[in-house]
Copies of this chain bind each other. A is one copy, B any other.
Amino acid sequence: MKCVIVDTLKSPYAKLKPVPVSSVKLTDKFWAPRLKMLREVTLPSQYEILEKTGRIENFRVAARKTGKISWRIADDSDVYKWLEAASLSLAYQHSDELAELVDSLVKDISLAQDENGYLFTYYSIKRKEERWTNLRDMHELYCAGHLFQAAVAHFRATGKRELLNTAIKLADHILNIFGPNKRLGVPGHPEIEMALVELYRTTGKVDYLKLAEFFIDQRGKGLVGGSIYLIDHKPFRELDEIVGHAVRSLYLNCGATDVYMETGDESILRVLKKLWDNMTKRKMYITGGVGSRYQGEAFGEDYELPNLRAYAETCAAIANVMWNWRMLLALGEAKFTDVMELAIYNGALSGISLDGKHYFYVNPLADRGKHRRQPWYSCACCPTNIVRLLASIPGYLYSTSDDGIWTHLYVASEAFIDLRGQKVKIVQHTNYPWSGDVETVVEPEKTCEFSLFLRIPGWSGDVEVRVNGKPINRRITPGTYLEIERTWRRGDRVEIDIPMPIKLIVSNPRVLCNACRVAIKRGPIVYCLEQVDNPECDVWDVVLIPEKRLIAKYKPDVLGGIVAIEGTAAVIDYNVWKDKLYLPLEEVSMKMREAKLTAIPYYAWANREPGPMITWIKSLLH
């Protein structure tokens, strides 16, 4: 029987609809412990820091209408991002402690709002006349956007309207000021665009959607100076290269994708596809990290992907996940899932320590041991972004379409998915990301005909799929969704075997820094060599010999449980080089010795004693 689809989130031009975090319970050893740590360690400790640094107090001062507001760039947004993460975490699993913090914070925020709806603590008491006068630098609209996202997440998690009302009041205030025939303006840091669309989806008020579109189309007219950094050098619809501040650029793309999902505007989609191609084919690290350039925290030129001086801000990798998630929802293509997965497991996850209390802002792909995660940053965007990402993970596993249920990330879990008015329980058994064998049990309330769309990762090879033990005889293509259309009965079992051989990856030769270098990858995980595991040599001196066999070994007690890669490699005799920088070729002996080698997942580096690390390893190849 075909049944009517219930749209909780109405996005007429989106191919897929999300399944909320509240519908999914993780049972695995990779993500479930991380979500527990998020709930019990990271979020409470961040709240403490937000309190200690005055970020929360700012709202109380604003409410009292007397006192001194402390100022750090975009500090209100840190509070909102924490609140969004905490709300998602509550939606996933309740915690009294967290709920209490959330309730108190929602009250603090709501009380800080002006009568007229304005809410931005820095201008709450003094300098009121400067409100909305410096959109480029002051991040008012950016903070508003984060409030909207927090409010929607809070409403969905708790059903409580208090914060949503605050958000609506601020959004309406902004609507009164900005728009066609009102004030023109460009948010210096995009964010409000996607937030307005989300607020539109939640409230049905179409003005929010229109304002999002308006903000996108005001760019490129020089309203904030015309810089590439701010992606103000060209109108959005004329962009053909991904440039500028990486997080700004990707947040803008998120907003534009959200607008597309509501409006079906092809001229937006065309641009998004072009930017995506440019980014993924020329400007993305193997980790899914982006924004290679320190200067301006920006996308560099094509193939400008330095390793030692990679910037690759944690926020940019997270934004990469956010954008690809939206592109996936819009178009239902597996290439977006591939990038999303890549960035989640590597370039974004490296942003937080295994103890849940230290963060990377910058994520180099090579280091000599000086780069360490910090407990906090004065610009705290990354710590409060990684908690949003972690809290969102359960919501990235599945989505639904008119035709059925889509599986994106493989994680041992139980999900209760609304499909055409009935609940379908999906249980996954897997040791992903360490193994590609996934058993999925489908349990519809009632027998029901629909398609199960299984993601076949782009990095995979010969994948085997069996339904109730019977192999599927169709061609299974990596980088697509395999549609299994059938009448599903309780207990139907789908097995997917995705082999995870160790792969040596090489770069496009125009990535000058990676010449004669390989990266080790297994499944979605990118590996690196860290000094602490390799006492026999300096890891920068390792030369991988492709012919030598590498072995994957599960080590439950190392770095929270990882698959390590072991083998032997050649090692340069560094002594001849010690005091030389350049030598004529004929004077160099390329003498090498052999040494044991152990590689660990890139995301887990810098959690033990400091030392050299390298991701792109020299190799005997051309």
Contact = CB atoms under 8 A, between A and B. Distances in A.
Contact of A509 (B293, B546, B577): B577
B513 A281 contact: no
A540 interface: yes
A507 B582 contact: yes
A581 B508 contact: yes
Interface string A595-622: 0000000000000000000101010111
A169 interface: no
A413 interface: no
A300 B516 CA distance: 24
Contacts of A37: none
B581 A511 contact: yes
A295 interface: yes
B505 A585 contact: yes
A512 interface: yes
A508 B585 contact: no
A309 interface: yes
A618 B515 contact: yes
Contacts of A503: 584-585
Interface of A: 277, 280-282, 284, 286, 293-295, 300-302, 304, 306-309, 366, 368, 370, 503-513, 515-519, 540-541, 543, 546, 572, 574, 577, 579-585, 588, 590, 614, 616, 618, 620-622
7 contacts: A294-B294, A300-B309, A301-B368, A301-B370, A304-B308, A512-B540, A515-B515
Given A294-B295, A580-B281, A585 B504 contact: yes
A303 to B, nearest CB: 8
B574 A505 contact: no
A282 B543 CA distance: 21
Nearest to A370: B301
Nearest to A501: B584
A574 B303 CA distance: 14
A518 B518 CA distance: 19
A158 to B, nearest CB: 43
A286 B540 contact: no
Contacts of A282: 581
A584 B504 contact: yes
Contacts of A583: 505-506
A156 B217 CA distance: 63
B306 A309 contact: yes
Q: How many copies does the complex hold?
A: 2
Contact of A506 (B368, B508, B588): B588
Contact of A585 (B510, B518, B540, B585): B518
A524 to B, nearest CB: 13
Nearest to A283: B581
Nearest to A621: B585
Contacts of A286: 582
B513 A306 contact: yes
Contacts of A511: 581
Nearest to A461: B584
A586 to B, nearest CB: 8
A469 to B, nearest CB: 31
Contact of A622 (B281, B284, B620): B620
Contacts of A546: 585
Given A580-B281, A582-B286, A513 B512 contact: yes
A582 B511 CA distance: 10
Contacts of A515: 515-517, 618
Contacts of A540: 509-510, 512
B590 A512 contact: no
A512 B581 contact: no
A345 to B, nearest CB: 15
Contact of A516 (B304, B366, B516, B541): B516
Nearest to A507: B582
A123 to B, nearest CB: 29
A508 B572 CA distance: 11
Contacts of A572: 509
Contacts of A509: 540-541, 572, 574, 577, 618
Nearest to A505: B582
Given A308-B512, A512-B308, A284 B585 contact: no
A6 B272 CA distance: 75
Contacts of A622: 516, 543, 590, 620
A330 to B, nearest CB: 22
Given A282-B581, A301-B368, A512-B540, 17 more contacts: A280-B581, A284-B581, A293-B309, A294-B295, A301-B370, A304-B308, A306-B309, A504-B584, A506-B583, A506-B584, A508-B577, A508-B580, A509-B540, A509-B618, A510-B540, A515-B618, A516-B516
B306 A581 contact: no
Contact of A309 (B280, B309, B506, B519): B309
The residue in A503, A507, A512 that gathers the most chain B C-beta atoms within 10 A of its C-beta is: A512
A622 B620 CA distance: 7
B302 A368 contact: yes
Nearest to A570: B622
A517 B282 CA distance: 22
The residue in A509, A574, A580, A616 that gathers the most chain B C-beta atoms within 10 A of its C-beta is: A509
A300 B294 CA distance: 13
A582 B506 CA distance: 6
Nearest to A518: B585
A574 B295 CA distance: 30
Contacts of A308: 301, 304, 306, 512
A288 to B, nearest CB: 11
A504 B368 CA distance: 28
A307 B306 CA distance: 10
A31 B34 CA distance: 67
A302 to B, nearest CB: 7
A281 B579 CA distance: 6
